[in-house]
Amino acid sequence: RKEVEQDPGPFNVPEGATVAFNCTYSNSASQSFFWYRQDCRKEPKLLMSVYSSGNEDGRFTAQLNRASQYISLLIRDSKLSDSATYLCVVTPYGGSQGNLIFGKGTKLSVKP
C-alpha cells in the first residue's frame, strides 16, 4: 500500500457544486496533515492544515479521521478559480520536520 493515496480524478463539476476529495495514508502514527493546491506548471501552495477536530476556511472544510486513516477536503460553492490539482500531504511517523510525503494529487476542473 502506498504511503499517501489520492483519486487522481479529474473531477469535472459545474460552478456552484460541492465537491469532496479523500486521501488515505498508510502509517497510523502519521503526525501532521495538510492540503496543498497546485495550479498547472506552478508551485504548490498551502491551502490548509488539517486538525483532528476538523477545520474550516471559508468554502473549504478539512477533516481528519485517524481511525480510518483518511483526510478529506470539501469545497462548497465551487468557483472557476478552484480549478487546480489538490495535493494531500502527510508527515510520516518518526519523520523530521522536513520529511513530508505528498500524494500524487486530485485534479479538479470547475466548468461554467
Partner 1 sequence: EAQVTQNPRYLITVTGKKLTVTCSQNMNHEYMSWYRQDPGLGLRQIYYSMNVEVTDKGDVPEGYKVSRKEKRNFPLILESPSPNQTSLYFCASISSSRSQYFGPGTRLLVL
- Name the minimum Å distance from CB 53 to partner 1: 16
Q: Does residue 42 interact with partner 1 by CB under 8 A?
A: yes
- Cβ 109 vs Cβ 39: under 8 Å: no
Residue 64 CA to residue 23 CA, distance in Å, equals 10
| Options 58, 81, 96, 112; binder of partner 1; rule CB under 8 A | 96
Give buried/exposed letters for 23-40 (b at 16+ CB in 10 A, else e).
Answer: bbbebeebeebbbbbbee
Nearer to partner 1, 17 or 27 (CB): 27
Binding residues among 66-95 for partner 1 as defined by CB under 8 A: 87, 89, 91
Peptide bond into 10 cis (omega under 30): yes
Region from 11-19, 29-37, 54-62, 63-71 binding partner 1, contact rule CB under 8 A: 29-37
Q: Does residue 26 interact with partner 1 by CB under 8 A?
A: no
- The set of cell numbers assigned to 89 is 500531504
Q: Chain-centre distance of CA 70, in angstroms?
A: 10
Q: Does residue 52 interact with partner 1 by CB under 8 A?
A: no
Instruction: Give contact residues for partner 1 (rule: CB under 8 A).
Output: 32, 34, 36, 41-46, 49, 87, 89, 91, 96-100, 102-105
